[in-house]
Amino acid sequence: MSFRLDQLPKKKYVVPGNAACAGCGMMIGLKVLGMVLGEEAVLSIPASCASVVQGLAPKSGVAMPILNVPFASAAAVATGIAEAYRMLGVKGHAVVWAGDGGTADIGFATLSGAAERNSNIIYIMYDNEAYMNTGIQRSSSTPRGAWTATTPVGKRERKKDVALLMAMHGVPYAATASIAYPQDFYRKLKRASEIEGFKFIHLHVPCPPGWRYDPAKTVEIAKLAVETGAWILWEYDNGQLKLNPPSTIYVDKTKRKPLKEYLKLQGRFAHLTDDDIKILEEEIETKWQTVLALAKAFPQRL
């Protein structure tokens, strides 16, 4: 599939003058979502930054049909919409656009239920790695060592890997993505929209106020996450797990940029010592080994 920038839809699904912070990574993701599914999807959005960036009623800052839903309910509401559309003969996709809080923590039961049932929805977890909407409190998706308002000396626990958990549910499609690689995210959205059943995309989304960096660096930081190996691009498609470029390069850990380059741009990691960083690097390598082992265990489509 060709991804020519000049051929992408120009329609503004993210409408100027919305309530997002300057440099919000999520809005880049929403733009790509609009390009792929803007006319074919309805969104269920639980309490999160996404609820607020829509701006104030009677205006909306996102030009797609949106149902704002209770915090823990998004996967279930989208399931209801999908089942209704199926009965009513309505063509289109029920999509969830939810944060890490509403997915990995309070929304985990409805997420797992929808995945286990193989409900016909596309679930996109935009991961800014904390409860940003309520003021930067830690979530289970906050990385180890990160400062948040509720982990002021750095989070003691490791990051919960929701995408792997979804793959282990045996869903038809689960993938990671990053706003620094919109072409990859675009392709994954398109792929998800071709599949019947439960599809999950874990989107890495830097957050200037939460991660404490100059908002101009949102894309740069997202890129560094991949280039240092801290964020791995992979997809699990009908039983086959494989890495996606450019993460394919970083299988070789000598090719990864030093983790420090990713961490030093972010105030939330400013307190880490070199020893702390070494531990994080080792943990990253362990995660790589896990993903590679899974790629070996799931070598081909079922």
d(CA 54, CA 78): 19
Segment lying near other proteins (by CB under 8 A), choices 18-26, 167-175, 243-251, 257-265: 18-26
User: Maximum CA pair distance of the chain?
Assistant: 59
Site for other proteins in 95-114 (CB under 8 A): 109-110, 112-113
d(CA 80, CA 86): 10
Cβ–Cβ under 8 Å, residues 41 and 95: yes
Q: Amino acid identity, residue 129?
A: E
Residue 6 interacting with other proteins (CB under 8 A): yes
Could you say which of 140, 190, 193, 219 contacts other proteins (CB under 8 A)? 219
Beta carbon nearer to other proteins, 112 or 140: 112
Residue 23 interacting with other proteins (CB under 8 A): yes
Site for other proteins in 66-95 (CB under 8 A): 66-70, 72-73, 76-81, 83-88, 90-94
Could you say which of 9, 19, 258, 289 contacts other proteins (CB under 8 A)? 19
Q: Which of the 8 DSSP states describes residue 101?
A: I
Site for other proteins in 161-190 (CB under 8 A): 182
Site for other proteins in 194-213 (CB under 8 A): 208
Enumerate residues 6+ apart whose C-beta is below 8 A from 259. 228, 229, 230, 277, 280, 281, 284
Segment lying near other proteins (by CB under 8 A), choices 34-42, 97-105, 158-166, 237-245: 34-42
The least CB distance from residue 181 to other proteins, in Å, is 11
Site for other proteins in 43-62 (CB under 8 A): 44, 51-52, 54-62
Rounded to 5°, angle at Cα 268 from 48 and 33: 35
Backbone angles phi, psi at 131, to 5 degrees: -80, 85
